Chain A
Amino acid sequence: MVDYVLRRLLYTIPSLLGIVVVCFFLTRLSGDPTDLFLPIDASEEARDAFRVQYGLDKPLMEQFVAFFYKALQGDFGNSLRFGEPAISLLAERLGATIQLALATLFIAVGVGIPAGIVSAYYRNSLLDVAVRSLAAFGQAVPTFYWGVLCILIFSVWLKWLPTGGSGGLVHLILPATTLASTLVALLARVMRSTMLDVMRQDFVRTARAKGLGEFTVVMRHVARNAFIPVLTVIALQFGVLMGGVIVTETVFSWPGVGRLVIQAIYARDYPVVQAVVFFFALIFVLSNLLADILSAVLDPRVRYK
């Protein structure tokens, strides 16, 4: 088991190195930062001064090595806008985003998984049809539309919840449910179909033949096995969630990393953009690593391979 975790951990290293490379070249591909940042009518001297200041006068490979070396130490340079290190701007906003992401995950798993279990167990019943319809609806409606609609209904008309900003739990409800809507729908559908697969397996019949109660058969023998592949879906979706965070944070003026990166993009503040992109990619890699470890915990066949 320790062996397995260590090996998985080693596998993340090439991914992370790759991300640093992509981060650097992708930003450079979008054009000369000098042109992006300085006014169009800036003098040639000002341009040269800017290039020297940020090391842009050096050959690309040399720049890359410098960037790479610093990035590994967590240094993405100073924000062009605030002059502060990009990484500390990121760190400031991190708490809010993590709070939002975890609340979203909590809602998505807490609603989506039970919905999928119930829907599969009572397949083709009215309940199943209701869950499937809601799931199709949830997946079809885009997050930004959902967000605006929720603000209109719950904040403007009913005045139950604040329209945006951060504070207590009440501020978290709307953005988290909005962000969770597509994930709830996806998890309900995936859980339902893997449940149906497992329910056909022989060992489920064996479990019933032992005289176990239906609840035990469904939870311990069916749902537990069905959850293993769903776990991977959750991990992958957690990465996708980071994209949703950008939209949702903007709609609800949530002071997180998503809003930071949108502002940085508008301001052509490329060190901040690079830091955030790297951070999102890191989240993606880590959530996959976590899924691998968790599925080994749940599935002995993975553990002993």
Chain B
Amino acid sequence: MSLTMTSRPSAGVERHDEILSIKQLRTTLGSRPGGVTVVDGVDLSVRRGKTLGIVGESGCGKSMLSLSVMGLVPPPCRLEGRIEFSGRNLLDVSPAEMRRIRGNRIAMIFQEPMTSLNPVLTVGFQIVEAMRAHDRKSSYEVLRRRAIEALVQVRMPAAERRFDEYPHQLSGGMRQRAAIAMALSCKPEVLIADEPTTALDVTVQAEILDLLRDLQQETNMAIVLITHDLGVVAQVADEVAVMYAGRIAEKASCDALFADPQHPYTLGLLGSIPRMDQAATRLLAIDGVVPPVASMPPGCRFHPRCVFSGQECTRQRPELTAVADGHAVACLKAPIEEGQS
């Protein structure tokens, strides 16, 4: 997969002001004693009209991070820190208030288009239902027309007919389009896309990413794109955060991250992408596996797998520190020069 950078023209400041900002978020699953912390002190922010990519292996806490923002972490759970959205801390708002924001101002699409739609309700009904949850005044006819418009907007073939069809009558790509139409039907300010293309084949994947980018340009929404695929990030993200074991390892603009990766984990991830222009005898991979959430190593959580780690890495937790403008890394050994190992 090629890593093409796309630079977008930046408009005025208001067009790109911060819409969602996560501060020192800690998400703990389970009841009080013996809970596991799956998101541990994460700071992130997204701007209107921009895409933030969150990259990491499965189990790094990226999905829990997105569910935390939606207020959908399965109970019992504990959330600490702040999630600021249009001037309010989402961790403080009432459940009723959160319900009004959810799906309306912050929407989400999920990984599995096969299972994320209700099999016994028509696609159209499920879109209308999303709109009706936030708009009790409009008649069914009005909502139906808007739902068909939403299907047209996501380039659903034969949109009018699809309205009355059931999810099992659609292909995987069409189901994901339906899910996107559903998420966008209320014109959200933030769209969280959790691995939206992982379950799709490569050509459909590219179509969906193009679609998301075009929709973003039309609506100026902010997108949080969660993925394990650096190729996807390179295609669409403006900024990237690399997550490892519930923490942010590195945060930078998309260009900077690919041009000058600083964290050993990022280097490892980039090294494990197979490239078309280099003949490699074997696929490079980072040694070892992500530690289980219940028994995290002390100090830097990556040190058991890190080729650069030293004594201090086993004791001291590295904080996210700026190495350049807009580029921060959580590594005691940073900056890492090329050729060092």
Contacts and interface: CB of A to CB of B under 8 A. Distances in A.
Interface of A: 201-203, 205-213, 216, 220-221, 224-225, 228, 298-301, 304
Given A201-B115, A205-B110, A210 B133 contact: yes
A225 B102 contact: no
Contacts of B328: none
A300 B120 CA distance: 6
Contacts of A213: 99, 133
Interface string B121-134: 11000000110011
B330 to A, nearest CB: 30
B224 interface: no
Contacts of B320: none
A225 B118 contact: yes
B166 A211 contact: no
B102 A210 contact: yes
A289 to B, nearest CB: 21
A210 B133 CA distance: 8
B227 interface: no
A301 B99 contact: no
Given A207-B118, A225-B118, A298-B120, A202 B102 contact: no
Contacts of B179: 206
Nearest to A207: B118
Interface string B75-103: 00000000000000000000000011111
Interface of B: 70, 72, 99-104, 107-108, 110, 112, 115-122, 129-130, 133-134, 166, 168-169, 179, 182-183
Contacts of A225: 118-120
Contacts of B103: 209-212
B116 A211 contact: no
Contacts of B120: 224-225, 228, 298-301
B170 to A, nearest CB: 12
A203 B101 CA distance: 19
Contacts of A206: 110, 116-118, 179, 182
Contacts of B110: 202, 205-206, 209
A301 B166 contact: yes
| Interface core residue of A224, A228, A300 (most chain B CB under 10 Å) | A300
B129 to A, nearest CB: 7
Given A210-B102, A210-B133, A300 B72 contact: no
Contacts of B129: 210, 212, 220
Given A210-B130, A210-B133, A203 B102 contact: no
B133 A212 contact: yes
Given A206-B110, A206-B179, A209-B103, 6 more contacts: A202-B112, A208-B102, A211-B101, A211-B133, A212-B103, A300-B168
Contacts of A203: 115-119
Contacts of B122: 300
27 contacts: A201-B115, A202-B115, A203-B119, A205-B72, A205-B110, A207-B118, A208-B102, A209-B70, A209-B72, A209-B108, A209-B183, A210-B103, A210-B130, A211-B102, A211-B104, A211-B133, A212-B130, A224-B120, A225-B118, A225-B119, A225-B120, A228-B120, A298-B120, A300-B168, A301-B119, A301-B120, A304-B168
